[in-house]
Amino acid sequence: MGNIKDNLRKVREMIQEAASKVGMDPQGIKLIAVTKTVELEKIREAVSAGATILGENYVQEARKKMEEIGRIGLQWHLIGHLQTNKAKYAVELFELIHSLDSIKLARELDRRATAAGKIVDCLIEVNLSQESSKFGIRKEEVLDLVHEIKVMKNISLKGLMTMPPYFDDPELARPYFISLRKLKEEIEKEGIPLPELSMGMSSDFEVAIEEGATMVRVGRAIFGERR
Ligand SMILES: *Cc1c(COP(=O)(O)O)cnc(C)c1O
């Protein structure tokens, strides 16, 4: 592992290459630096090397880090599972929630956003692997959830997110990425735009980009192995 600045540069180069390979504009792909369990020092290093979007899994941990690191010039995204009883804080703290996965959570986010006078941007997390991933809504249920969210005034639905099982060979993740893209295309046929596809992590983000990712969530390839 090199230092964080070099790692970030390498990841950006890989994003560029993967995008050019399929004729996509690399500018259209947002890199989310995943900072769960990463200490402040290292996060600051990434920020000074140009990371502008930080992804956190836990509301509490994120809140502490925001107080230390600040928010100016930065976006904080919630990528981990969100419990309904933390919806209020999530609405206050995050620019984008990647993990909307139930109607119950959607109602609570809408209610809290209304109370705060805010519009909360969300992605629906889709569970494409049933057994291996605990979170996310089943593919068959996504369209119903989309229709329910569309009538909520204080949630703005931006797209879909998924997290395939981990494979040593990233090619094995490809079918999941294809499946998420196809789901997005099906929903868009109903006249509901879903511009963002959040898919791809350290082990497989190049494959995800080839299949249409607009957001990649990368932790270890930037910060090294987690504690
Ligand atoms: C931890 C995490 C990531 C980043 O995983 P790496 O393998 O460190 O790149 C991405 N998305 C989610 C939802 C995560 O929990």
- Does the Cβ of 164 fall within 6 Å of ligand 1? no
This prediction's pTM: 0.97
For the CA atoms of the chain, what is the radius of gyration? 17
Which residues lie across from 217 on neighbouring strands? 32
Model pLDDT, residue 85? 98
% of the chain beyond a pLDDT of 90? 95
Model pLDDT, residue 204? 98
Over the stretch 157-178, which tens digit does the pLDDT of each residue have?
999 999 999 999 999 999 999 9
Stretch 123-142: mean pLDDT? 89
- Does the Cβ of 99 fall within 6 Å of ligand 1? no
Atom of ligand 1 nearest to the CA of 36: 1
Distance (Å) from CA 27 to ligand 1 centroid: 21
Whole-number Å distance between alpha carbons of 126 and 139: 6
- Does the Cβ of 201 fall within 6 Å of ligand 1? yes
Distance (Å) from CA 71 to ligand 1 centroid: 21
Among 8, 61, 201, 216, the mutation site with the greatest number of ligand 1 atoms within 8 A of its Cβ is 201
Whole-number Å distance between alpha carbons of 5 and 3: 6
What is the CATH number assigned to the segment(s) 4-222? 3.20.20.10
Hey, how many other C-beta atoms are within 10 angstroms of the C-beta on 93? 17
Stretch 71-85: mean pLDDT? 97
Atom of ligand 1 nearest to the CA of 80: 13
DSSP 147-170: HHHHT-TTEEEEEEEE-PPP-SSG
Whole-number Å distance between alpha carbons of 214 and 68: 29
